[in-house]
Amino acid sequence: MVTKANAEGSETAEIGVIGGSGLYSFLDDVTEVTVDTPYGPPSDSLFIGDVEGRRVAFLPRHGRAHDIAPHRINYRANLWALRSVGVRQVLGPCAVGGLREEFGPGTLLVPDQLVDRTKARVQTYYDGVPLPGGGASKVVHISLADPYCPEGREAALASARGREWEPVDGGTLVVVEGPRFSTRAESRWHASMGWSVVGMTGHPEAVLARELGLCYTSLTLVTDLDAGAETGEGVSHEEVLKVFASNVDRLRTVLFDTVGALQAGETRDCLCSHALDGIDTGLELP
């Protein structure tokens, strides 16, 4: 059942999930909440429902019709919208290519590092540029040495193991601009750097979450071996969708378990929760 709500503040959630468009239909009794932000509209409405006794806001990253390309996603609006309904912990499942033969299709990898190879994305709230509604941030430099929430990672890893889906604990997600896939040379280069998986949406999602003091945990599902790690035709979109579809049920189960395993937001004491301690951003965060 989908109930609609427009008023911000009438519906709240503590945990956000930014993921593929198929997920919200699995939540019972969702309330569809439309949210606007100083950065424009997010990818879609927020779909708020109960998971494991927690209030969860699901946001289809590419819009419900999957018509927003990775480089055109309004990442700032997405994270801001989640925070504005009360979200403090975010799970960011995404499809990736494996950069090593042992990371074949169906691998679940919970990265602990991130490399940005995007080219044209707004990736900060703190650039000092005036906002349309008035006001401007200060120029702020936050720490991103460890881009993911350590507690969220542990919850995700334990949840996968609990479902007998042995995850890869750690590794580097390199994010490319897309929407095209990599050339073989790019893919071999990424692999030779020791990076693990390649995707198109993990950046600037993680950065912006940290800038808002949100916990962010990436769960990457390998849907293909990237161009340099195999000898066939290269990656196809059909192949990615097929592998994602065949894993979506267990990924959803692991996400639900992870939601249940996250500590209550108000008791957070991780590095993410302290990201803005002592910093005047110039913005009033929602």
226 is catalytic: yes
Say which DSSP state 136 is in: B
CB of 91 to Zn ion, least distance (A): 11
Q: Is 215 in the site for Zn ion (CB under 5 A)?
A: yes
Residue 261 binding Zn ion, by CB under 5 A: no
Is position 197 an interface residue for Zn ion (rule: CB under 5 A)? no
Distances in whole angstroms, Cα of residue 135 to Cα of each of 38, 126, 138, 160: 10, 12, 10, 43
Distance (Å, whole) CA 8 – CA 181: 38
Question: Which phi and psi (to 5°) does residue 204 adopt?
Answer: -95, 20
How far is 238 from 226, CA to CA, in rounded Å? 14
- Cβ at position 143, least distance to Zn ion in Å: 13
Q: How far is the CB of 206 from Zn ion (least distance, A)?
A: 11
Q: Is 173 in the site for Zn ion (CB under 5 A)?
A: no
Distance (Å) of CA 152 to CA 168, 226, 257? 15, 27, 12
149, 173, 209, 283: which one binds Zn ion (CB under 5 A): 149
Catalytic residue among 29, 36, 50, 226: 226
Q: In the complex, what is the shortest distance from the CB of residue 209 to Zn ion, in angstroms, rounded to a whole number?
A: 9
270: contact with Zn ion by CB under 5 A: yes
- Among 44, 116, 224, 257, the active-site one is 224
Contacts of 227 (CB under 8 A, 6+ apart): 97, 181, 182, 183, 184, 186, 187, 234, 235
Interface with Zn ion (CB under 5 A), residue total: 4
Catalytic residue check, 277: no
Cβ-based burial of 193 (10 A; exposed 0-12, middle 13-18, buried ≥19): exposed
13 binds Zn ion (CB under 5 A): no
For residue 142, state whether it binds Zn ion (rule: CB under 5 A). Answer: no
* Feature table: binding site for substrate: 200, 224-226
Catalytic site positions: 224, 226
**Which residues form the interface with Zn ion (CB under 5 A)?**
149, 215, 270, 272
